[in-house]
Amino acid sequence: MTTDPETIGMVAGWLHEARSVVVLTGAGVSAESGLPTFRDPEVGLWAEYDPMELATIGAFERDPELVTRWYHWRFTKSRDVRPNPGHDALARLEALLNALAPGGAPPFTLITQNIDGLHQRAGSRRVVELHGSFHRWRCTRTGREKDLADLSFERFPVVSDAGGLMRPCVVWFGETLPPEALEASFDALARCDLFLSVGTSATVHPAAGLIEIARAAGARTVEINKDPTANTDAVDAAIGGLSGSVLPDLLRRMDELASGAPARDT
């Protein structure tokens, strides 16, 4: 793991050269906005309960009030925070790569495991939500979906007009991922020549396996993470640090490359 300017300059060069970039993000990218990650010791309902046990259909069936409160608490927390410089840098990267290669296949795909919508709020346009979103909820009886804004959270759990419990449109353990999200991910990975894994512990599948698909397609692989993960020793470049600092740094280096200015050490 390194934060040395040489590695950052090298990865900025790869980004500048790449024709198709895929970025996979996890909870670490939203940490600097003030949202708890899954596997760091945390506050509120996260300190009292193991998030890995709440994110299951079994937990919802056993205690729908608790699980609904947890997701609603997470939504209100996310509504009250802002995207951080890491989210902003990824939105700028997308715009920059689109401007460098107008037309044809999209040169940038952001695949996120996060359900908080912060990438979209930062201005990212092409976002694949692998684990769904807590902005949409669906009736467990009819399958009909509603926007969170159209639901009342005065009582927990939330019951639909049809008498079914409402659950967030997120992917819990043992559930399959949205087929359209998987398809969009596989499409992008098949043509990607640079893959970045950012702020994820890379422990949950199938997201954790996407890096292998990118590698098999011939892509260079990069990890940006606060702590080492199972990927750290296998990637072409591992940058240890906070995504809210490393990503803006990479963008600055890319701007310098795009304007022809010599890259300076930061």
| Residues carrying an active site annotation | 131
Q: Which two tokens stand for residue 192?
A: 């990607």
Our finding on whether 131 is near ligand BJW (CB under 6 A) is: yes
- Contacting ligand BJW (CB under 6 A), which of 37, 68, 120, 221? 37
DSSP structural state of residue 208: G
- Contacting ligand BJW (CB under 6 A), which of 103, 104, 143, 174? 174
132: left (phi over 0), alpha (psi -120 to 50) or beta: left
Our finding on whether 47 is near ligand BJW (CB under 6 A) is: no
Our finding on whether 249 is near ligand BJW (CB under 6 A) is: no
- Contacting ligand BJW (CB under 6 A), which of 59, 67, 115, 127? 115
The minimum distance between CB 220 and ligand BJW, in angstroms, equals: 19
Our finding on whether 204 is near ligand BJW (CB under 6 A) is: yes
Tell me which long-range contacts 120-125 makes (C-beta under 8 A, separation of at least 24). Answer: 121/82, 121/83, 121/87, 122/83, 122/87, 122/88, 122/90, 122/91, 123/88, 123/91, 123/92, 123/95, 124/87, 124/90, 124/91, 124/94, 125/91, 125/94
Using CB under 6 A as the criterion, which residues of the chain lie in contact with ligand BJW when the complex forms?
26-28, 31-32, 37-39, 55, 113, 115, 131, 170-176, 199-201, 203-206, 225-227, 229, 242-244
